Structure 1
Amino acid sequence: MVASEQLTQTPSVLDVLPDRWQSLRAAGPVGYDDAQGVWRVVGYADVAAVLADPVTYSSDLSPIAPTQQDFEAFRQGNFVGMDPPEHRKLRTLVSQAFTPRVVHGLAPRIEAVCARLLDAVADRDRFDVVDALAYPLPIIVIAELLGVPAGDHRLFQEWASTLFSGDQLGEAPDMADLERALEAIAPTVREMNDYVLGHIRHRRAHPGDDLTSKLLTAEVDGVRLRDQEIVGFVALLLVAGHITTTALLGNALVTFDRHPGTLGVLRDDPGKVPDAVEEVLRWLPPFPELGRRTARPVVLSGHEIPPDSLLMVHLGAANRDPARFTAPEAFDVTRSPNPHLTFGHGIHFCFGAPLARLEARIALNLLLNRFCSIVVPSHDDITFQNPSVIVGVRHLPVEVTRP
């Protein structure tokens, strides 16, 4: 039985999610979900407008979200959940150390790590591409960038698995579910905070040429980051920074397999790989929803929304809005331009986007060079993450042939 026949009989996350996003759009660009008590924003224009207006739509959810002591410590340097002017200060400081030149300079090291990881499976015709490449590659790269021992990458992987697995959550979690989940993963957050704080203190005493050392000396208007603020950012980059690339690579290979001929097109014209990466990002955003809080009363697409309301902004649905994309339900690796919203929009545009894109391009090019074919022998053997947290695969067995 061919893979397409199996997929017809066994709907997967990759089938269910697009149908759900389409159903959300069919209900209108903005709507209230009575069951979960949230506003859902799904139209491209409205999603972009919300993300571009941090004054009206706050990223600080603390007034309406469950709290937990260990997460409060983590939040101090996590500018993803901050509004101006605090957001500007931290982002400006971090930008001094994490420059485009720094990211571009990582390319040779990314290529070397990719090659070493694939060398480790050189004698195998079947392997789990997540375990072999998609997980370790970005963890090793980010650990080296931060000056953290790359030998601890299994520990970082365990943290990410706990924080993003969503094992404590159903498909439609409510506040009670979130509170239970926070309590369940609090020990992991505590361990992560302690580890990163120890690393920062070590770097204060023994500075190097790594990103952490540069963060310690970065300043704006004479102000430098405090240790706990650096903890939040380093932990964010170490954990969230690698999981995006892991999901992107896994999603790419699964999607290519479901669209026969795609790898051949990219092998014949490697110049299309960057466009293919963007189309995978549009097609399956790793984090398909973002939360925002209304800071004041607002009218959005004719709906009056009171202050301190929770909005769930659906990137996955917006990325397939026919009002913005031609043939949005078609996967097209030649699509250009591709103004998807997967990395956000406005002041909170994903800080790690350039690194994730670079890692994905290099890894895919190396896979194309190494293997004549990369096939998912059975989609029933794929293990998916909980899509209410992250869209990606935990395990992806592939079969390969070499020249």
Structure 2
Amino acid sequence: MSTAWVDAALRRGPVYFDEGQGCWTVTGHPEALAVLGDPVTFSSDLADLVPRQEDLDLFRRGNIVQMDPPRHDELRRIVSRAFTPRVVAGLEPRIEAITGSLLDARGSRFDLIDDLAYPLPVIVIAELLGVPAADRPVFRRWADRLFDRAGERLLDEEAIAAVAPAVHEMREYLLEHVRRRRAEPADDLTTALVREGLDDEAAAGFVGVLLIAGHITTTATLGNTVLCLHETPGAADELRAAPDLLPGAIEEALRLRTPFPRLARRTTTATVLGDASLPADTLVAIWLAAANRDPRVFADPSAYDPRRNPNPHLAFGHGIHFCLGAPLARLEARVALRMLLRRYREIAVDTAEPIRFRNPWVMSSPTRLPIAVS
């Protein structure tokens, strides 16, 4: 999936059936809002469309991302208390301390992903969940397997089989952690989930979603924002001169390089979306990456504009499944980028070294981003 693919998809229209991907495709911003805002017609529960796999079936019991109300609402209420604006704001000193420590260990050349964008959010979410931050190489291996194996088609049977070993390993690790917290409670989010009455399998699945989603979006956002600044002459200097533009610069990077390019839904009944008639029990791919470049909503949609206002991008979703960790991801990105811009006069992508990216059909994010600083 490339910018050229997104542009071609937008030209085909806001809603159409894609024979190659075998599903209905939504590229328009208003149409994406309509789908994401209607969980009754467009269900997040894809179990009936997914090839059966034991580890995935067990893990799905705690996967809030693929749940509909009322179970979704019950679990979201439990964990939302850990992500209130007050709680998230209280994490800023810890995020600053971690960022400073990571940067202090670096020289004038380093890999932004390996040395900052990955460890920072992993340490933060690991501490919230009570899992050992020292195990972050294990967590990264899971993420690499989960987000680099899928192909162009949603719910591809071969891709699902490929990620099953990683899901199994993650489930076993997290089940042990949940059982340990059940026996030895602590002041962390895992203990809170156990105390709410979740069984071990559901709690392990929920912790897994929080652990992976709680770091990988920040990792992508940091890397993508630095790439946007590198590709836009003068943008970094403008942010140094006007730090109040930094939140807008991050939001614009989220729009232009949307971390998760697409979401999936299932129609529960026949419905009309735009000019298209969708049958019941059909798969729908909502291309956030395309909706965030819809020229009906965004002027000059391919340009990176830190001053863009309004910027109603859908990078964190919309409706009942709006990303729980969005405030934390935004705070982590803001703190890290603020400290980078203050510490270094120049931050340049080291083009002499290769940049590597995740599978773009699954996630827009560098996995290796060498930079030179001074």
TM bracket (short chain): over 0.9
2:60 partner letter: R
1:119 partner letter: D
Show the counterpart of 1:400: 373
Task: Please say if residues 290 and 314 of structure 1, whose CA atoms lie closer than 8 Å, have aligned partners that are also in contact.
Answer: yes
Shift of 1:379: 7.4
Distance 1:370 1:322, change over 3 A: same
In structure 2, what is the Cα distance between the partners aligned to 1:181 and 1:240?
19
Q: Any idea what the Cα deviations from partners look like across 1:95-135, whole Å, max 9, x if unmatched?
A: 234433322221111111101110110xx221111111011
Q: Any idea what the Cα deviations from partners look like across 1:249-279, whole Å, max 9, x if unmatched?
A: 1111111101111110111111111111100
Q: Does the alignment pair 1:239 with 2:212?
A: yes
In structure 1, what is the Cα distance between the partners aligned to 2:164 and 2:276?
37
Report the 3-state secondary structure (helix = DSSP H, G, I; strand = E; otherwise coil) of the residue aligned with 2:301.
Answer: coil
Q: Does the alignment pair 1:173 with 2:153?
A: yes
Distance 1:194 1:301, change over 3 A: same
Q: Does the alignment pair 1:156 with 2:156?
A: no
- The sequence identity of aligned pairs, in percent, is 52
Shift of 1:388: 0.7
1:323 partner letter: R
Report the 3-state secondary structure (helix = DSSP H, G, I; strand = E; otherwise coil) of the residue aligned with 1:76.
Answer: helix
Q: Any idea what the Cα deviations from partners look like across 1:21-80, whole Å, max 9, x if unmatched?
A: 111111111111112211110111100000000000111111112221101111111111
Report the 3-state secondary structure (helix = DSSP H, G, I; strand = E; otherwise coil) of the residue aligned with 2:265.
Answer: strand
Q: How does 1:1-400 map to 2 (within 5 A)?
A: 17-121=2-106, 124-166=107-149, 169-170=150-151, 172-173=152-153, 175=155, 178-218=156-196, 224-378=197-351, 381-400=354-373
Q: Any idea what the Cα deviations from partners look like across 1:140-164, whole Å, max 9, x if unmatched?
A: 1110111111111111111111111
Task: Please say if residues 130 and 395 of structure 1, whose CA atoms lie closer than 8 Å, have aligned partners that are also in contact.
Answer: yes
Task: Please say if residues 102 and 115 of structure 2, whose CA atoms lie closer than 8 Å, have aligned partners that are also in contact.
Answer: yes
Show the counterpart of 1:3: none
Report the 3-state secondary structure (helix = DSSP H, G, I; strand = E; otherwise coil) of the residue aligned with 1:381.
Answer: coil
Report the 3-state secondary structure (helix = DSSP H, G, I; strand = E; otherwise coil) of the residue aligned with 2:333.
Answer: helix
Question: Which stretch of structure 1 is more off in the superposition, 390-399 or 379-388?
Answer: 379-388
Shift of 1:232: 1.2
Structure 2 gaps, min length 5 = none
2:336 partner letter: A
In structure 2, what is the Cα distance between the partners aligned to 1:89 and 1:303?
34
Shift of 1:297: 0.3
Task: Please say if residues 31 and 41 of structure 1, whose CA atoms lie closer than 8 Å, have aligned partners that are also in contact.
Answer: yes
Shift of 1:302: 1.8
1:295 partner letter: T
Shift of 1:380: 6.7
In structure 2, what is the Cα distance between the partners aligned to 1:28 and 1:185?
33
Distance 1:174 1:346, change over 3 A: closer
Which aligned runs of 4 or more in structure 1 are off by greater than 4 angstroms?
A: none
TM-score of the superposed pair, with normalisation by structure 2? 0.97
Report the 3-state secondary structure (helix = DSSP H, G, I; strand = E; otherwise coil) of the residue aligned with 2:25.
Answer: strand
Task: Please say if residues 103 and 116 of structure 2, whose CA atoms lie closer than 8 Å, have aligned partners that are also in contact.
Answer: yes
Distance 1:127 1:41, change over 3 A: same
Task: Please say if residues 353 and 370 of structure 2, whose CA atoms lie closer than 8 Å, have aligned partners that are also in contact.
Answer: no
Task: Please say if residues 349 and 369 of structure 2, whose CA atoms lie closer than 8 Å, have aligned partners that are also in contact.
Answer: yes
What value does the CA root-mean-square deviation take over the aligned residues? 1.4
Distance 1:303 1:379, change over 3 A: farther
In structure 1, what is the Cα distance between the partners aligned to 2:154 and 2:350?
37
